[in-house]
Amino acid sequence: MRVLSGIQPTGRFHWGNYFGAIRQYIDLQDSGQSYYFIANLHALTTVREPNLLRQNTLDAALDLLALGLDPQRAILFVQSDVPEVTELTWLLMSITPMGLLERCVSYKDKVSKGLAADAGLFTYPVLMSADILIYDSDIVPVGADQIQHIEVARDIAGSFNHLFGGTFVLPKSKVLESSAKVPGTDGEKMSKSYSNTIEIFEEPKAMRKKIMRITTDSRPMEQPKENYAEDHLYQLYSLFVDDTRREEMAALYLRGGFGYGQVKTALADAAENYFADARAKRADLAANPKRVEEILGDGASRARKKASEVLARAKKACGVTR
Ligand code: ADP
Ligand code: TRP
Protein backbone atom coordinates (compact mmCIF):
# COMPACT_ATOMS: atom_id res chain seq x y z
CA MET A 1 0.00 0.00 0.00
CA ARG A 2 1.24 3.49 -0.85
CA VAL A 3 0.27 6.47 1.27
CA LEU A 4 0.88 9.99 -0.03
CA SER A 5 0.17 13.49 1.15
CA GLY A 6 1.43 17.00 0.54
CA ILE A 7 1.41 20.13 2.63
CA GLN A 8 1.82 23.66 1.36
CA PRO A 9 4.67 25.79 2.72
CA THR A 10 2.58 28.96 2.96
CA GLY A 11 3.67 29.91 6.49
CA ARG A 12 4.82 28.42 9.76
CA PHE A 13 2.78 25.41 10.85
CA HIS A 14 0.33 25.93 13.68
CA TRP A 15 -1.44 23.75 16.21
CA GLY A 16 -4.32 23.17 13.76
CA ASN A 17 -1.92 21.84 11.14
CA TYR A 18 -0.29 19.59 13.72
CA PHE A 19 -3.35 18.02 15.35
CA GLY A 20 -5.40 18.09 12.14
CA ALA A 21 -2.80 16.75 9.72
CA ILE A 22 0.89 16.40 10.57
CA ARG A 23 0.48 14.14 13.59
CA GLN A 24 -1.57 11.75 11.50
CA TYR A 25 0.91 11.68 8.62
CA ILE A 26 3.51 10.67 11.15
CA ASP A 27 1.26 7.97 12.60
CA LEU A 28 0.73 6.59 9.09
CA GLN A 29 4.38 6.35 8.16
CA ASP A 30 4.52 2.66 9.01
CA SER A 31 1.50 1.57 7.01
CA GLY A 32 3.16 0.64 3.74
CA GLN A 33 5.40 2.95 1.74
CA SER A 34 4.63 6.55 2.53
CA TYR A 35 5.45 9.65 0.51
CA TYR A 36 5.22 13.12 2.04
CA PHE A 37 6.10 16.23 0.16
CA ILE A 38 6.25 19.96 0.60
CA ALA A 39 3.97 21.41 -2.08
CA ASN A 40 6.01 24.47 -3.08
CA LEU A 41 4.54 24.56 -6.61
CA HIS A 42 1.07 24.79 -5.14
CA ALA A 43 2.27 27.48 -2.74
CA LEU A 44 3.39 29.53 -5.74
CA THR A 45 -0.29 30.25 -6.40
CA THR A 46 -0.22 32.45 -3.26
CA VAL A 47 3.37 33.16 -2.14
CA ARG A 48 4.97 35.67 -4.49
CA GLU A 49 8.19 36.39 -2.61
CA PRO A 50 11.05 34.10 -3.70
CA ASN A 51 12.99 34.33 -0.45
CA LEU A 52 9.91 33.71 1.60
CA LEU A 53 8.98 30.65 -0.46
CA ARG A 54 12.52 29.28 -0.04
CA GLN A 55 12.48 29.93 3.69
CA ASN A 56 9.00 28.46 4.15
CA THR A 57 10.03 25.33 2.28
CA LEU A 58 13.06 24.78 4.49
CA ASP A 59 11.03 25.56 7.63
CA ALA A 60 8.41 23.03 6.58
CA ALA A 61 11.08 20.35 6.21
CA LEU A 62 12.58 21.20 9.61
CA ASP A 63 9.17 21.19 11.27
CA LEU A 64 8.14 17.84 9.79
CA LEU A 65 11.43 16.16 10.67
CA ALA A 66 11.44 17.61 14.18
CA LEU A 67 7.88 16.45 14.79
CA GLY A 68 8.77 12.85 13.99
CA LEU A 69 8.68 12.31 10.26
CA ASP A 70 11.40 9.70 9.88
CA PRO A 71 13.30 9.67 6.58
CA GLN A 72 14.16 6.00 7.21
CA ARG A 73 10.50 5.11 7.13
CA ALA A 74 8.90 7.72 4.89
CA ILE A 75 10.06 9.43 1.71
CA LEU A 76 10.19 13.18 2.38
CA PHE A 77 10.80 15.51 -0.56
CA VAL A 78 10.05 18.86 -2.11
CA GLN A 79 7.44 18.81 -4.90
CA SER A 80 9.52 20.76 -7.44
CA ASP A 81 12.47 18.36 -7.03
CA VAL A 82 10.44 15.85 -9.02
CA PRO A 83 9.95 17.64 -12.37
CA GLU A 84 8.19 14.56 -13.79
CA VAL A 85 5.09 15.72 -11.93
CA THR A 86 4.72 18.87 -14.03
CA GLU A 87 5.13 16.85 -17.22
CA LEU A 88 2.39 14.48 -16.13
CA THR A 89 0.24 17.51 -15.29
CA TRP A 90 0.15 18.42 -18.99
CA LEU A 91 -0.91 14.93 -20.05
CA LEU A 92 -3.71 15.03 -17.49
CA MET A 93 -4.70 18.59 -18.34
CA SER A 94 -5.27 17.55 -21.94
CA ILE A 95 -8.13 15.26 -20.92
CA THR A 96 -9.58 17.30 -18.03
CA PRO A 97 -12.98 18.87 -18.72
CA MET A 98 -13.19 22.60 -17.87
CA GLY A 99 -16.43 21.92 -16.02
CA LEU A 100 -14.70 19.61 -13.57
CA LEU A 101 -12.32 22.40 -12.53
CA GLU A 102 -14.99 25.11 -12.58
CA ARG A 103 -16.77 23.20 -9.82
CA CYS A 104 -13.72 23.16 -7.52
CA VAL A 105 -14.27 25.38 -4.50
CA SER A 106 -10.92 27.17 -4.22
CA TYR A 107 -11.36 28.59 -7.71
CA LYS A 108 -15.12 29.07 -7.43
CA ASP A 109 -14.82 30.93 -4.11
CA LYS A 110 -12.27 33.34 -5.46
CA VAL A 111 -14.29 34.11 -8.57
CA SER A 112 -17.52 34.47 -6.60
CA LYS A 113 -15.79 37.11 -4.44
CA GLY A 114 -15.10 39.00 -7.64
CA LEU A 115 -11.34 38.37 -7.44
CA ALA A 116 -9.21 37.60 -10.49
CA ALA A 117 -8.00 34.01 -10.53
CA ASP A 118 -4.81 32.81 -12.16
CA ALA A 119 -4.62 29.79 -14.45
CA GLY A 120 -2.45 28.18 -11.75
CA LEU A 121 -5.28 28.35 -9.24
CA PHE A 122 -7.77 27.05 -11.81
CA THR A 123 -5.59 24.06 -12.74
CA TYR A 124 -4.36 23.49 -9.18
CA PRO A 125 -6.40 20.27 -8.84
CA VAL A 126 -4.73 18.84 -11.97
CA LEU A 127 -1.25 19.34 -10.51
CA MET A 128 -2.56 17.77 -7.32
CA SER A 129 -3.90 14.82 -9.34
CA ALA A 130 -0.48 14.37 -10.94
CA ASP A 131 1.10 14.49 -7.44
CA ILE A 132 -1.10 11.60 -6.42
CA LEU A 133 -1.20 9.48 -9.58
CA ILE A 134 2.52 9.63 -10.31
CA TYR A 135 3.35 7.52 -7.23
CA ASP A 136 0.58 4.93 -7.74
CA SER A 137 -0.84 6.19 -4.44
CA ASP A 138 -3.58 4.09 -2.84
CA ILE A 139 -4.41 6.24 0.17
CA VAL A 140 -4.26 10.01 0.48
CA PRO A 141 -4.72 11.33 4.03
CA VAL A 142 -6.13 14.87 3.90
CA GLY A 143 -8.30 17.34 5.74
CA ALA A 144 -11.99 17.48 4.81
CA ASP A 145 -11.41 20.54 2.59
CA GLN A 146 -9.28 18.47 0.21
CA ILE A 147 -11.69 15.57 -0.44
CA GLN A 148 -13.04 17.23 -3.56
CA HIS A 149 -9.54 17.30 -5.03
CA ILE A 150 -9.03 13.58 -4.47
CA GLU A 151 -12.33 12.99 -6.28
CA VAL A 152 -10.95 15.04 -9.19
CA ALA A 153 -7.83 12.85 -9.21
CA ARG A 154 -10.01 9.72 -9.32
CA ASP A 155 -12.12 11.18 -12.13
CA ILE A 156 -9.09 12.12 -14.20
CA ALA A 157 -7.42 8.75 -13.59
CA GLY A 158 -10.64 6.98 -14.58
CA SER A 159 -10.94 8.97 -17.84
CA PHE A 160 -7.30 8.40 -18.72
CA ASN A 161 -7.60 4.67 -18.06
CA HIS A 162 -10.80 4.57 -20.12
CA LEU A 163 -9.24 6.40 -23.08
CA PHE A 164 -5.80 4.82 -23.08
CA GLY A 165 -6.05 1.60 -21.12
CA GLY A 166 -5.29 0.85 -17.47
CA THR A 167 -2.49 3.22 -16.45
CA PHE A 168 -3.25 4.74 -13.07
CA VAL A 169 -4.18 3.39 -9.67
CA LEU A 170 -7.43 4.96 -8.43
CA PRO A 171 -6.61 6.73 -5.14
CA LYS A 172 -8.83 6.93 -2.06
CA SER A 173 -8.92 9.76 0.44
CA LYS A 174 -8.56 9.10 4.14
CA VAL A 175 -10.12 11.92 6.05
CA LEU A 176 -8.21 12.87 9.13
CA GLU A 177 -10.53 12.53 12.10
CA SER A 178 -9.80 15.67 14.04
CA SER A 179 -9.56 17.95 11.01
CA ALA A 180 -11.60 21.14 11.02
CA LYS A 181 -11.64 20.95 14.83
CA VAL A 182 -8.75 22.82 16.37
CA PRO A 183 -10.03 26.25 17.47
CA GLY A 184 -7.94 29.40 17.20
CA THR A 185 -7.33 32.06 19.84
CA ASP A 186 -10.70 33.63 19.00
CA GLY A 187 -12.68 30.37 19.07
CA GLU A 188 -13.07 30.18 15.28
CA LYS A 189 -11.26 27.41 13.35
CA MET A 190 -7.52 28.00 13.71
CA SER A 191 -6.25 29.20 10.34
CA LYS A 192 -3.59 31.46 8.91
CA SER A 193 -6.34 33.29 7.07
CA TYR A 194 -8.00 34.32 10.36
CA SER A 195 -4.81 35.44 12.16
CA ASN A 196 -5.79 33.37 15.17
CA THR A 197 -3.00 30.81 15.08
CA ILE A 198 -0.44 29.64 17.59
CA GLU A 199 2.59 28.24 15.82
CA ILE A 200 4.06 24.93 16.89
CA PHE A 201 7.56 26.33 17.27
CA GLU A 202 6.69 29.82 18.37
CA GLU A 203 9.18 31.27 20.87
CA PRO A 204 7.92 30.20 24.34
CA LYS A 205 7.50 33.81 25.48
CA ALA A 206 5.55 34.84 22.39
CA MET A 207 3.47 31.67 22.69
CA ARG A 208 2.52 32.49 26.27
CA LYS A 209 1.51 35.98 25.23
CA LYS A 210 -0.79 34.63 22.53
CA ILE A 211 -2.28 32.11 24.95
CA MET A 212 -2.99 34.87 27.46
CA ARG A 213 -4.94 36.68 24.73
CA ILE A 214 -7.23 33.72 23.99
CA THR A 215 -10.79 35.04 24.21
CA THR A 216 -12.95 33.89 27.13
CA ASP A 217 -16.46 34.63 28.31
CA SER A 218 -17.22 37.05 31.10
CA ARG A 219 -19.00 34.73 33.52
CA PRO A 220 -17.99 35.34 37.14
CA MET A 221 -15.22 33.15 38.53
CA GLU A 222 -17.35 31.39 41.08
CA GLN A 223 -20.01 30.28 38.58
CA PRO A 224 -19.82 26.57 37.59
CA LYS A 225 -19.34 26.10 33.85
CA GLU A 226 -21.27 23.01 32.79
CA ASN A 227 -20.70 23.47 29.09
CA TYR A 228 -16.93 23.17 29.45
CA ALA A 229 -16.65 20.92 26.37
CA GLU A 230 -17.71 23.84 24.17
CA ASP A 231 -15.13 26.20 25.60
CA HIS A 232 -12.27 26.66 23.12
CA LEU A 233 -9.73 27.19 25.89
CA TYR A 234 -10.72 23.84 27.38
CA GLN A 235 -10.65 22.23 23.93
CA LEU A 236 -7.12 23.48 23.32
CA TYR A 237 -5.95 22.30 26.73
CA SER A 238 -7.43 18.86 26.02
CA LEU A 239 -5.21 18.42 22.98
CA PHE A 240 -2.07 18.45 25.10
CA VAL A 241 -2.91 16.37 28.16
CA ASP A 242 -3.84 12.81 29.08
CA ASP A 243 -7.31 11.70 30.23
CA THR A 244 -6.60 12.20 33.92
CA ARG A 245 -5.57 15.81 33.55
CA ARG A 246 -8.42 16.46 31.16
CA GLU A 247 -10.90 15.11 33.70
CA GLU A 248 -9.33 17.21 36.44
CA MET A 249 -9.79 20.28 34.29
CA ALA A 250 -13.40 19.31 33.52
CA ALA A 251 -14.04 18.94 37.25
CA LEU A 252 -12.62 22.41 37.86
CA TYR A 253 -14.97 23.91 35.24
CA LEU A 254 -17.93 22.09 36.81
CA ARG A 255 -17.04 23.30 40.29
CA GLY A 256 -16.35 26.90 39.31
CA GLY A 257 -14.28 29.18 41.47
CA PHE A 258 -11.31 29.58 39.15
CA GLY A 259 -10.02 32.20 36.77
CA TYR A 260 -9.39 31.62 33.08
CA GLY A 261 -5.86 32.93 33.63
CA GLN A 262 -5.18 29.76 35.59
CA VAL A 263 -6.35 27.61 32.67
CA LYS A 264 -4.21 29.63 30.27
CA THR A 265 -1.13 29.07 32.38
CA ALA A 266 -1.89 25.35 32.49
CA LEU A 267 -2.31 25.35 28.70
CA ALA A 268 0.98 27.18 28.16
CA ASP A 269 2.83 24.74 30.42
CA ALA A 270 1.24 21.72 28.75
CA ALA A 271 1.96 22.96 25.22
CA GLU A 272 5.54 23.84 26.06
CA ASN A 273 6.10 20.43 27.57
CA TYR A 274 4.34 18.65 24.69
CA PHE A 275 6.62 20.11 22.03
CA ALA A 276 9.82 20.30 24.12
CA ASP A 277 11.56 17.30 22.50
CA ALA A 278 10.55 18.38 19.01
CA ARG A 279 11.81 21.89 19.71
CA ALA A 280 15.22 20.53 20.72
CA LYS A 281 15.33 18.30 17.67
CA ARG A 282 14.44 21.20 15.43
CA ALA A 283 17.25 23.31 16.85
CA ASP A 284 19.72 20.46 16.14
CA LEU A 285 18.52 20.12 12.57
CA ALA A 286 18.52 23.86 11.96
CA ALA A 287 22.17 23.91 12.99
CA ASN A 288 22.88 21.22 10.41
CA PRO A 289 21.37 22.40 7.11
CA LYS A 290 23.57 19.99 5.13
CA ARG A 291 21.88 17.04 6.81
CA VAL A 292 18.46 18.44 5.91
CA GLU A 293 19.50 18.91 2.27
CA GLU A 294 20.78 15.34 2.25
CA ILE A 295 17.46 14.04 3.51
CA LEU A 296 15.51 16.06 0.93
CA GLY A 297 17.91 15.05 -1.85
CA ASP A 298 17.65 11.40 -0.98
CA GLY A 299 13.84 11.69 -0.73
CA ALA A 300 13.69 13.35 -4.16
CA SER A 301 15.78 10.68 -5.84
CA ARG A 302 13.67 7.89 -4.35
CA ALA A 303 10.49 9.70 -5.37
CA ARG A 304 11.81 10.35 -8.90
CA LYS A 305 12.52 6.69 -9.40
CA LYS A 306 8.86 5.83 -8.93
CA ALA A 307 7.65 8.99 -10.72
CA SER A 308 9.66 8.35 -13.87
CA GLU A 309 8.37 4.80 -14.06
CA VAL A 310 4.73 5.92 -13.89
CA LEU A 311 5.30 8.89 -16.23
CA ALA A 312 6.84 6.56 -18.84
CA ARG A 313 3.81 4.28 -18.53
CA ALA A 314 1.45 7.23 -19.09
CA LYS A 315 3.40 8.66 -22.04
CA LYS A 316 3.45 5.31 -23.72
CA ALA A 317 -0.26 4.77 -23.13
CA CYS A 318 -1.34 8.07 -24.71
CA GLY A 319 1.09 7.95 -27.63
CA VAL A 320 3.61 10.69 -26.89
CA THR A 321 6.44 8.19 -26.68
CA ARG A 322 7.45 7.25 -30.22
P1 ADP B 1 -4.54 27.25 7.05
O2 ADP B 1 -6.06 27.18 7.22
O3 ADP B 1 -3.89 27.81 8.26
O4 ADP B 1 -4.14 27.96 5.76
P5 ADP B 1 -3.92 24.85 5.61
O6 ADP B 1 -5.15 24.99 4.79
O7 ADP B 1 -2.59 25.09 4.96
O8 ADP B 1 -4.04 25.76 6.93
O9 ADP B 1 -3.94 23.39 6.26
C10 ADP B 1 -3.00 22.37 6.08
C11 ADP B 1 -3.53 21.12 6.74
O12 ADP B 1 -3.81 21.34 8.14
C13 ADP B 1 -4.83 20.63 6.13
O14 ADP B 1 -4.77 19.23 6.00
C15 ADP B 1 -5.91 21.01 7.13
O16 ADP B 1 -6.94 20.08 7.14
C17 ADP B 1 -5.17 21.02 8.47
N18 ADP B 1 -5.71 22.07 9.33
C19 ADP B 1 -5.55 23.40 9.17
N20 ADP B 1 -6.17 24.09 10.15
C21 ADP B 1 -6.76 23.18 10.95
C22 ADP B 1 -7.57 23.25 12.13
N23 ADP B 1 -7.87 24.42 12.69
N24 ADP B 1 -8.01 22.10 12.67
C25 ADP B 1 -7.70 20.91 12.12
N26 ADP B 1 -6.95 20.77 11.00
C27 ADP B 1 -6.48 21.87 10.42
N1 TRP C 1 -3.66 20.99 -1.83
C2 TRP C 1 -3.21 20.41 -0.59
C3 TRP C 1 -3.53 21.36 0.57
O4 TRP C 1 -3.62 22.54 0.37
C5 TRP C 1 -1.74 20.12 -0.64
C6 TRP C 1 -1.44 19.09 -1.68
C7 TRP C 1 -0.84 19.29 -2.88
C8 TRP C 1 -1.75 17.70 -1.58
N9 TRP C 1 -0.75 18.12 -3.56
C10 TRP C 1 -1.30 17.12 -2.82
C11 TRP C 1 -2.37 16.90 -0.62
C12 TRP C 1 -1.46 15.76 -3.08
C13 TRP C 1 -2.53 15.55 -0.89
C14 TRP C 1 -2.09 14.98 -2.12
O15 TRP C 1 -3.64 20.92 1.71
Rounded CA gap, 48 and 284, in Å? 30
Tens digit of each residue's pLDDT (9 = 90 or more) over 233-271: 999 999 999 999 999 999 999 999 999 999 999 999 999
Tens digit of each residue's pLDDT (9 = 90 or more) over 270-303: 999 999 999 999 999 999 999 999 999 999 999 9
User: What contacts 190, CB < 8 A, 6 or more positions away?
Assistant: 14, 15, 16, 182, 183, 184, 196, 197, 198
Q: How far is the CA of 7 from the centre of ligand 2 (A)?
A: 6
pLDDT at 220: 84
Helix (H, G, I), strand (E, B) or coil at 141: strand
Measuring from atom 15 of ligand 1, which residue has the nearest CA?
143
pLDDT at 178: 57
Rounded CA gap, 213 and 262, in Å? 13
Q: How far is the CA of 8 from the centre of ligand 2 (A)?
A: 7
2 lines ligand 2 (CB under 6 A): no
pLDDT above 70 as % of the chain: 99
Rounded CA gap, 62 and 284, in Å? 10
pLDDT at 179: 47
- DSSP-derived secondary structure letter, 31: S
Domain residue spans in the chain? 2-181+288-318, 202-274
Rounded CA gap, 254 and 159, in Å? 57
Write out the chain's pLDDT in tens, 322 residues: 999 999 999 999 999 999 988 998 899 998 889 999 999 999 999 999 999 999 999 999 999 999 999 999 999 999 999 999 999 999 999 999 999 999 999 899 888 988 888 999 999 999 999 999 999 999 999 988 899 999 999 999 999 999 999 999 999 999 877 545 799 999 999 999 899 999 999 999 999 999 999 999 888 888 899 999 999 999 999 999 999 999 999 999 999 999 999 999 999 999 999 999 999 999 999 999 999 999 999 999 999 999 999 999 999 999 999 8
**Rounded to 5°, angle at Cα 112 from 110 and 116:** 50
pLDDT at 292: 97
- The yes/no answer on whether domain 202-274 falls in CATH 1.10.240.10 is yes
Q: How far is the CA of 57 from the centre of ligand 2 (A)?
A: 14
Atom nearest to 21 CA in ligand 2? 15
- What residues line ligand 1, using a CB cutoff of 6 Å? 7-8, 10, 16-17, 20-21, 142-143, 145, 179-182, 189-193
Query: pTM of the entire structure?
Result: 0.94
User: What is the CATH number assigned to the segment(s) 2-181+288-318?
Assistant: 3.40.50.620
Return the active site residues. Answer: 110, 189, 192
5 lines ligand 2 (CB under 6 A): yes
Measuring from atom 4 of ligand 1, which residue has the nearest CA?
192
Q: Which-ligand-closest: CA of 191?
A: 1
Q: Which-ligand-closest: CA of 12?
A: 1
Cα→Cα distances 51→44, 48, 290, Å: 12, 9, 19
